[in-house]
Amino acid sequence: MPQLGLLHGRAWAVLFGQLRRPPGAVCIRAVHSHSQVAEAALATQLKPHQEKSNFIIKTPKGTRDLSPQQMVVREKILDMVVSCFKRHGAKGLDTPAFELKEMLTEKYGEDSGLIYDLKDQGGELLSLRYDLTVPFARYLAMNKVKKMKRYHVGKVWRRESPTIAQGRYREFCQCDFDIAGQFDPMIPDAECLKIVCEILSGLQLGDFLIKMSWKDVRHEMVAKKGLAAEVADRIGDYVQCHGGVSLVKQMFQDPRLSQNKQALEGLGDLKLLFEYLTLFGIAEKISFDLSLARGLDYYTGVIYEAVLLQTPAHAEEELLNVGSVAAGGRYDGLVGMFDPKGHNVPCVGLSIGVERIFSIVEQRMKTFGEKIRTTETQVFVATPQKNFLQERLKLIAELWDAGIKAELMYKNNPKLLTQLHYCENMGIPLVVIIGEQELKEGVIKLRSVASREEVAITRENLVAEIQKRLSES
Amino acid sequence: MPQLGLLHGRAWAVLFGQLRRPPGAVCIRAVHSHSQVAEAALATQLKPHQEKSNFIIKTPKGTRDLSPQQMVVREKILDMVVSCFKRHGAKGLDTPAFELKEMLTEKYGEDSGLIYDLKDQGGELLSLRYDLTVPFARYLAMNKVKKMKRYHVGKVWRRESPTIAQGRYREFCQCDFDIAGQFDPMIPDAECLKIVCEILSGLQLGDFLIKMSWKDVRHEMVAKKGLAAEVADRIGDYVQCHGGVSLVKQMFQDPRLSQNKQALEGLGDLKLLFEYLTLFGIAEKISFDLSLARGLDYYTGVIYEAVLLQTPAHAEEELLNVGSVAAGGRYDGLVGMFDPKGHNVPCVGLSIGVERIFSIVEQRMKTFGEKIRTTETQVFVATPQKNFLQERLKLIAELWDAGIKAELMYKNNPKLLTQLHYCENMGIPLVVIIGEQELKEGVIKLRSVASREEVAITRENLVAEIQKRLSES
C-alpha cells in the first residue's frame, strides 16, 4: 500500500484548489505536467525482474509465515489465554518492537548475545525486544507507575539456533501477565501459578506439572532470612524427594526443623505459598526441580516452569518435543535498574509459551484430521444465468450493509456448479440464488448447502430470514 | 520471563531421574552443588544499578507505548476493521517482522532509504518489513498461490521523520486487505473501494472522499489501451473538473469522445468500475485527484487514497492533522518480481491507516471526556473483617473457575471502604462480601456498586445469581 498520508498535504491542497477554482485552463495544464511524470515513472517499473533469479524465496532463518489454517488455531489459543488474563483483572499494554539498546544491556546475562541489534543508520542504537518483561519494567519506571496488573501479547526475537521440531523459533509470540506493586507476601505469586493452571487446563493439553526452582527458594532462606546453609539443605532433602502439597506438613514433623526457630521462619513464605495454592486447589500441581536455574539476570525470587506430562503411550521423542509451555517468577530488582533513583517496584509474572502449545495443538489436529474453516463467510451469492453480475453485486451489497458475511465469484458468467462446489469446499452454510425467474417473481432462492433444500423468499424478507437461520445454527 | 524450554532438556532429565531414583545421598549432593551455583549467580545480581543514571528512559524516536486506555480504543478500532475484512470473506495471514533484505530491494523506489536494516551479526542480511504488501507477494510466490483473499493486521517500520501530531510514527500498525488472482476486470477493485467505505462509515469519522489517481488511469489508457495522449487529456479535462458518478455519462455525451472508437475503448474500464461502484452505492464517494502520485514502485494500475472531510467548524490546522486514512491500488507485477519464472499474480488491495484513525478517535474521546474501562472485571471479592484472606481466596477461586472475571485486594487486612472505592473507580459492577456473620450463616452478601443494594445469597447459588445479573446488565 502507498505510505498513508505521505501525499496528503498535496492532496488537500488540490482538494481545496478544486473547490475554489473554476474548471478551465489551469486544470488542463495540470493534467499534462502530471501525465509526463507518470510516463517517466513507468520506465523503472519492470527493472527488478532481471534480478529475481539471483535469490531463493524464503523467510529468514528461524522464522515462518502463518497460513490461514495456522492463524485460526493461533487465534483460538490466544483468545483463550487473553480471556484468562482479563478474568484476573489485567489491563492491556503495548510497547515498541525495538528498544534503545542500552535499555536491554545487563538484563539477560549470558543470553545477551542472542539479542537482535538494528543496523546503525544514524541516530539511536536500537535492539529488537528479547522479551516483554524488560519493556514492561521500562514502562513502569518511565511513567513512575508503582502498581499495575497488565497483560501483553506480542512477538519477541532471539537469535537462538532454532529447533523447529520443538516449536521454537527466532521470532515467537509471548503472552505475559505480570503484577507490579508492593503487596502482602505470596498472594500475587499464588495468583500467577493459578493462572498458569487455568490456561493449561483450559487448553486441554493433558496433565501438567509446575516445577519451582529449589535453588532460588533456598537462596531466599539463606541469603535473605539468614537460615543456616545446612538447615536449608535439610529442607532441600525433603522438597527434592517429595515436594507438592504434603511437603510443608512433613517438614514441620521433622524435629530438626520444627525445633529450629530459624528453620520455621525460613519456611514461612513457603508455608504461606502452599496454603494459598491449596485454597486455589492447585497445590498438587506444584513440585520442586533441582535442575531449574534462574534463566535471566533479573530474577530475584522463586522461578517456575510448567511442563506437560505425556501419557506413556507417547514415544520418548515426542516427550522431549514438548518441554516447557509456561514459565515465570519474581523480579523485584528490575524496575529499579531503570529508575534514576533506583526506586524498586516488586514484580511477579508469568509467560505462556504459545508457540510450543500451538505446535502441540496443530500436531493433534493433524493426527485427528480436523478440518478448519479459514473464512467465516455465511452466505454465497450465486446465479445460474449469464449476465447477472449486476444483480449479484446489488444483492451482495445489501447483505454486506446488513452485516452479513458474504462472497461471490469475481466472474461475469460463472457456472452454477462451480459456485455450489466452492460453498461445499469452504463450508459456507447458505447460498442465495438470483436468476431471471427469481427476478421476474421478485424473489430470491435461499439454499441450505448441507441439506440442499431451496426456498423462495421475497427480496424484502431475505436479510431477516438469513439472520434467523444463522442465529439458529 | 525465562526462555521457555531453554532448560527443558535438563528439567526432563531430573523429572525422570526423580521418578526412578529413590530418596537419598544423590539428592543431597545435588542440592549442595546447585546451591553453590545459586550464590555465585547472585553476585552479578545488582551490578546494572551503577549504570542506570547514564541514560534517559524513553522509547526509540518515533515510537510509543500504548497505555491501557489507548489499548482499549485501539482494540475497538481493530475489531471493527477485521470484522469488515471477514465480512468480505478474507482469510488471516501472518508473516515475520523482518524479511531477507534482498526481498525488499527494488520494491519501494526512493522510499527504500526508509527501511530499517538489522545489524549484520553473522548469517543473513535482514530488514524490518516496510509494509504488509511485499511480504504478501513474497508469500504468494514462495507458496505458488495463484488466488487468495487475505487480511493482515500487523506493525510495519519506516525511518521517517515522525510528526506525532499527525498520528504518524516510525512504528505503526497497518490493516491490509488484498485480493490476488486473475478475475474479470474491476470486480475486486470495486470491492476494495466498497470495503474502505464500509470501514470509514462504520467508524463514524464523519464525511470522507476517496480520491483516485488520474495519472494512473491515464497511463492505463495511453500506454496499455493505446489511446492518443490528447484524447486521454481531453478525458482528463472532465475527470479533474467534475469526477464522481456523473463523470462517465458526461464524457459519453462529448462527441469528441463518443465518436472516437479508441476513446470509447479507453473509457471501458473506467465505465465498468463506476457501474460497479454505483451498484455498491458508493460512486458519489469517489473522485479523481491530479496530485495523487504512485506512492511505491510496485503499483501498476489505479491507486486511491481516502481522506476525511472535516466540517467547516474545525480549524484549518486540524484539517491538516487528518490527512489520508486509507489507501490502496493494483499491483499486478509484484508477485512476478519474486517468482523465478516471473509468473505474475494480479493483485489489488487496500490498507487502513489505523494510527491516524486512532489519533482522531482518541482526540474525540478527550474532547467529550469519555471515561474508558481498562479492565473487564465483573466482581470484586471484599471483606469487612480482618484475617479473612483465606476465605476470600477460596471464594475468588470459585468465581474464576466458573469463568467470572474477579479481583481482590492483595492485602491480609484491607479496609472495606478502600475495597468499595476501588470498585467505583474501576467501574466494577458487583461486589461479593464475606465476613464472620456471612460465614456463620453460610451466605455471601452480593452488592450492586451502582445502587449500593445488598442481598444475602447462599454460597451454592452465588455463581448462578452473579451470572444472571451479568447477563441482564
Q: Distance between the two ends of chain B, CA-based, in angstroms? A: 38
Interface of A with B in 107-126 (CB under 8 A): 107, 109, 111, 116-121, 123-124, 126
Q: Which residue of A has its CA nearest to B58?
A: A142
Q: Which residues contact A376 (CB under 8 A, 6 or more apart)?
A: A405, B86
Q: Which residue of A has its CA nearest to B240?
A: A27
A294 among annotated binding-site residues:
yes
- What are the phi and psi torsion angles at B164 (to 5°)? -55, -35
**Cα B20 versus chain centre, distance:** 50
Q: Does A370 touch chain B (CB under 8 A)?
A: no
- Give the residue from A457, A449, A472 showing the smallest Cα distance to A399: A457
A289 among annotated binding-site residues:
no
What's the pTM? 0.86
Closest-CA distance, B301 to chain A, in angstroms, reads 11
How far is Cα B33 from Cα B26, in angstroms, rounded to an integer?
11
Count residue pairs from A and B with Cβ separation < 8 A. Answer: 543
In this complex, do A280 and B397 lie within 8 Å of one another by their Cβ atoms?
Answer: yes
Show the cell assigned to A213: 526452582
Neighboring chain B residues of A266 at a CB cutoff of 8 Å: none
- Residue A295 has its nearest CB partner, among B2, B109, B297, at B2
pLDDT in tens, B413-470: 999 999 999 999 999 999 999 999 999 999 999 999 999 999 999 999 999 999 999 9
Q: Does A325 touch chain B (CB under 8 A)?
A: yes
In this complex, do A49 and B390 lie within 8 Å of one another by their Cβ atoms?
Answer: no
> How many helices (H) and strands (E) in chain A?
19, 15
Q: Does B232 touch chain A (CB under 8 A)?
A: yes
Q: Does B400 touch chain A (CB under 8 A)?
A: yes
3-state helix, strand, coil in chain A (%, to 5): 50, 15, 35
Q: Does A318 touch chain B (CB under 8 A)?
A: no
pLDDT in tens, B311-330: 544 444 444 446 789 999 99
In this complex, do B53 and A340 lie within 8 Å of one another by their Cβ atoms?
Answer: yes
Is-contact B432 B380, C-beta < 8 A? yes
**ipTM, 2 dp:** 0.86
In this complex, do A109 and B44 lie within 8 Å of one another by their Cβ atoms?
Answer: yes
Is-contact B282 A393, C-beta < 8 A? no
Q: Does B224 touch chain A (CB under 8 A)?
A: no
How far is Cα B310 from Cα B363, in angstroms, rounded to an integer?
14
In this complex, do A11 and B75 lie within 8 Å of one another by their Cβ atoms?
Answer: no
Q: Is A299 helix (H, G, I), strand (E, B) or coil?
A: coil
Residue with cell 497511463: B219
Residue ranges for the known binding site of B for L-histidine are 131-133, 158, 174, 178, 294, 298-299
Q: Does A384 touch chain B (CB under 8 A)?
A: no
Q: Print pLDDT tens along chain B (473 aa).
A: 444 433 333 333 333 333 333 333 333 333 333 333 333 333 334 344 444 455 689 999 999 999 999 999 999 999 999 999 999 999 999 999 999 999 998 888 888 899 999 999 988 999 999 999 999 999 999 999 999 999 999 999 999 875 555 556 899 999 999 999 999 999 999 999 999 999 999 999 889 999 988 887 888 788 877 888 888 888 888 776 655 556 677 777 888 888 888 777 777 888 899 899 999 999 989 888 777 766 666 777 778 999 998 754 444 444 444 678 999 999 999 999 999 888 999 999 999 999 989 988 888 888 888 889 999 999 999 999 999 999 999 999 999 999 999 999 999 999 999 999 999 999 999 999 999 999 999 999 999 999 999 999 999 999 999 999 999 98
Neighboring chain A residues of B39 at a CB cutoff of 8 Å: 219, 222-223
Interface of A with B in 249-268 (CB under 8 A): none
- Report long-range pairs for B78-81 (Cβ below 8 Å, ≥24 apart): B78/B153, B78/B173, B78/B175, B78/B354, B80/B199, B80/B202, B80/B203, B81/B153, B81/B175, B81/B199, B81/B352, B81/B354
In this complex, do A118 and B119 lie within 8 Å of one another by their Cβ atoms?
Answer: yes
How far is Cα A212 from Cα A328, in angstroms, rounded to an integer?
10
Neighboring chain B residues of A24 at a CB cutoff of 8 Å: 241
- Residue A376 has its nearest CB partner, among B35, B86, B105, at B86
pLDDT in tens, A410-423: 999 999 999 999 99
Q: Does B3 touch chain A (CB under 8 A)?
A: yes
- Give the residue from A123, A416, A461 showing the smallest Cα distance to B117: A123
- Give the residue from B149, B94, B91 showing the smallest Cα distance to A354: B94
Q: Does B185 touch chain A (CB under 8 A)?
A: no
Q: Print pLDDT tens along chain A (473 aa).
A: 444 433 333 333 333 333 333 333 333 333 333 333 333 333 334 344 444 455 689 999 999 999 999 999 999 999 999 999 999 999 999 999 999 999 998 888 888 899 999 999 988 999 999 999 999 999 999 999 999 999 999 999 999 875 555 556 999 999 999 999 999 999 999 999 999 999 999 999 889 999 988 887 888 788 877 888 888 888 888 776 655 556 677 777 888 888 888 777 777 888 899 899 999 999 989 888 777 766 666 777 778 999 998 754 444 444 444 678 999 999 999 999 999 888 999 999 999 999 989 988 888 888 888 889 999 999 999 999 999 999 999 999 999 999 999 999 999 999 999 999 999 999 999 999 999 999 999 999 999 999 999 999 999 999 999 999 999 98
DSSP letter at A456 equals E
pLDDT for position A119: 97
- Residue A60 has its nearest CB partner, among B74, B100, B109, at B100
In this complex, do B67 and A93 lie within 8 Å of one another by their Cβ atoms?
Answer: yes
Neighboring chain A residues of B57 at a CB cutoff of 8 Å: 103, 138, 141-142, 338, 340
Is-contact A279 B24, C-beta < 8 A? no
Q: Does A383 touch chain B (CB under 8 A)?
A: no
